[in-house]
């Protein structure tokens, strides 16, 4: 197992570099520049800004300096030398003046992390419950009802469900804030929102994942409940709840575990639509702002975080697979 993990971690390095390389050249193929505005800047000011951020250099020089930043080597145009930091340095944001991309990510990451984990906990609890009930009562009215809820969750998009929840719970019942973040903990730029302000965006985020988890749990449980060892456990006289929880659920969770990696990466990175609807200052909202304003360094920094998070979470999923299914061996 250790050899497998080390091998996967080594493979991640060229994969992340490949993703960033493709992103870098795609961004530079887009028309305009970070300083393209409706009111054009004076040529002298625009030239100074291009020199400050290195946009006056040839494309391959910019690419080389950016890749050097990934390994902590930062080029100083005033001295013409590189300085080294023991962490990736994505440079300064062109949109947010005097703010570094690393600082923006550190500020937005806790918000997106708490929102994503809250949404996934809701999705996991409700989805597993619906899937288990549906599998134990196959082709009954309870089965049809739970699967109808799942279809509803898949069919209704976030940009419809979010405003609908705002109308009901914020503008009608006044239970939750519509688009205002309340902070449970603040320490400089490190802020964690309260559960009250996260409730509506978390429910909106979790709806589609509840549907997926319920359907996958149902199919996995139905397949597991037909296995010989389940019949043996029942023949021994074990209570039904022990058969379900102790034996069937472990095998039925395998499809959910495989889905968890990309789902958590998506949730932790922040869902763009939901963060925009509820004005959540997370990574997804910064990603949209960076794309709209051609903030190259911020866009590349968030893309790097997306890629690394997805690969690490998929690795954790593979490890969990081996734990849940003893037949799977990694070498």
pLDDT band, very low/low/confident/very high, at 259 (cuts 50, 70, 90): confident
- What span, in angstroms and rounded, lies between the C-alpha atoms of 243 and 234? 7
Pick the CATH number of 103-324 from 3.40.718.10, 3.40.50.720, 1.10.3720.10, 1.50.10.10: 1.10.3720.10
Measured from the Cβ of residue 185, the count of other Cβ atoms closer than 10 Å reads 11
pLDDT, residue 181, reads 74
pLDDT, residue 197, reads 81
pLDDT tens digit sequence for 171-197: 888 888 877 777 777 776 677 777 888
pLDDT, residue 230, reads 67
Whole-structure pTM value: 0.77
> How many residues comprise the chain?
331
Report the DSSP pairing between strands 190-193 and 183-187. Answer: antiparallel
Q: Where are the domains of the chain?
A: 2-84, 103-324
pLDDT, residue 258, reads 72
Measured from the Cβ of residue 251, the count of other Cβ atoms closer than 10 Å reads 18
Residue 270 in this model has a pLDDT that exceeds 60: no
In 168-247, alpha helices (H): 195-225, 228-235, 240-242
For 79, phi then psi, to 5°, come to -95, -20
SS3 track for 276-303: HHCCCCCHHHHHHHHHHCCCHHHHHHHH
Reference 102, options 283, 294, 296, 298; nearest CA is 298
One DSSP character per residue, 1-31 reads: -HHHHHHHHHHHHHHHHHHHHHHHHHHHHSS
Contact predicate 310/261, CB 8 Å: yes
Evaluated on CA atoms 260, 261, 263, 265, the torsion sign reads: positive
Residue 325 in this model has a pLDDT that exceeds 70: no
pLDDT band, very low/low/confident/very high, at 31 (cuts 50, 70, 90): confident
Supply the DSSP symbol for 24. H
Report the DSSP pairing between strands 73-76 and 81-84. Answer: antiparallel
Residue 210 in this model has a pLDDT that exceeds 70: yes
Evaluated on CA atoms 50, 54, 59, 63, the torsion sign reads: negative
Residue 161 in this model has a pLDDT that exceeds 70: yes
Percentage of the chain beyond pLDDT 90 is 0
């Amino acid at each position: 197992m250790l050899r497998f993990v080390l091998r996967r971690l080594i493979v991640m390095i060229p994969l992340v570099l490949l993703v960033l390389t493709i992103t870098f050249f795609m961004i530079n193929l887009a028309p305009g520049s970070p300083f393209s505005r409706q009111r054009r800047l004076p040529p002298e000011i625009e030239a100074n800004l291009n020199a400050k951020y290195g946009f006056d250099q040839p494309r391959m020089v910019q690419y080389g300096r950016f890749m050097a930043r990934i390994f902590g080597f930062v080029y100083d145009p005033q001295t013409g030398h590189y300085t080294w930091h023991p962490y990736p340095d994505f440079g300064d944001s062109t949109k947010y003046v005097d703010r570094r991309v690393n600082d923006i990510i550190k500020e937005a990451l806790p918000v997106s992390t708490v929102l994503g984990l809250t949404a996934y906990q809701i999705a996991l609890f409700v989805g597993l419950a619906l899937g288990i009930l549906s599998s134990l009562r196959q082709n009954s009215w309870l089965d049809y009802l739970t699967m109808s809820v799942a279809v509803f969750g898949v069919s209704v998009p976030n940009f419809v469900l979010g405003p609908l929840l705002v109308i009901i719970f914020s503008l009608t019942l006044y239970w939750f804030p519509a688009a205002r973040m309340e902070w449970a903990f603040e320490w400089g730029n490190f802020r964690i929102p309260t559960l009250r302000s996260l409730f509506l965006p978390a429910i909106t985020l979790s709806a589609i994942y509840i549907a997926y988890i319920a359907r996958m749990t149902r199919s996995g449980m139905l397949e597991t409940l037909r296995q010989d060892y389940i019949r043996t456990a029942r023949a021994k006289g074990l209570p039904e709840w022990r058969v379900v929880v102790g034996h069937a659920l472990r095998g039925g969770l395998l499809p959910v575990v495989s889905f968890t990696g990309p789902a958590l990466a998506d949730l932790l990175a922040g869902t763009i639509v939901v963060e925009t609807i509820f004005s959540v200052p997370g990574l997804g909202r910064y990603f949209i702002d960076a794309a709209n304003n051609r903030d190259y360094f911020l866009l590349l920094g968030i893309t790097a975080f997306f890629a690394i998070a997805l690969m690490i979470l998929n690795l954790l999923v593979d490890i969990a697979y081996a734990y849940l299914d003893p037949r799977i061996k990694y070498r």
